[in-house]
Amino acid sequence: MNSYIFTSENLGFRNWKTSDLDELYRLNSNTEVMRFFPSTASKEQCEDFVKRMQQQFETHKYCYFATEKLETQEFIGFVGLSLQTYEADFNPSTDIGWRLLPEFWGNGYATEGAKRCLSYGFETLKLSEIVSVAPSINIPSIKVMEKIGMQKASTFNHPLLKKYPNLESCVLYKIKQ
């Protein structure tokens, strides 16, 4: 049995383990999953991500959590919170984000997981505000932001996406406790 930090009706959320690397690589090397990102990720980048998330959890008690389907304990991707510090007028901030394997799309898991992570952030961690950012063309993620009660705050050019004109224009959504 995995040690979940918290659960929702169908999902379990936990810190990352080194043994998650192959599944994370399967997620981050999928071109369909990564269509709103500059590129897919290498195994080394996935390893760095796991280490960053583990460190972030140790420091802040949150990260983009490894997320599993409770019924089967299958890894479905990640849903969670992450500290953002890139140069933007709203940073530092706590971002909510999600990325799921395609076979788990269309089941409401991103929305369910994001709602549960919002409650963890507000009720357990006592955060005052949570943001979410996505390229303006990422309509599926924007729909999730709206379903979980977030409000559009602005559109901005993401400083880390300057070399990717189709991704650079991003939306910022916010929700307060």
Q: What is the pLDDT of residue 95?
A: 98
Q: How does residue 159 score in pLDDT terms, banded at 50, 70 and 90?
A: very high
The reported pTM is 0.94
Span 98-148, pLDDT tens digits: 999 999 999 999 999 999 999 999 999 999 999 999 999 999 999 999 999
Q: Quote the percentage of the chain above a pLDDT of 70.
A: 99
Q: Residue holding tokens 């659960």?
A: 7
Average pLDDT of the residues in 7-11 = 97
Radius of gyration (C-alpha) of the chain in whole angstroms: 15
In the chain, the domains with their CATH numbers are 6-131 (3.40.630.30)
Measure the CA–CA gap between 25 and 101, rounded to whole angstroms. 11
Measure the CA–CA gap between 128 and 130, rounded to whole angstroms. 7
Q: What is the pLDDT of residue 2?
A: 60
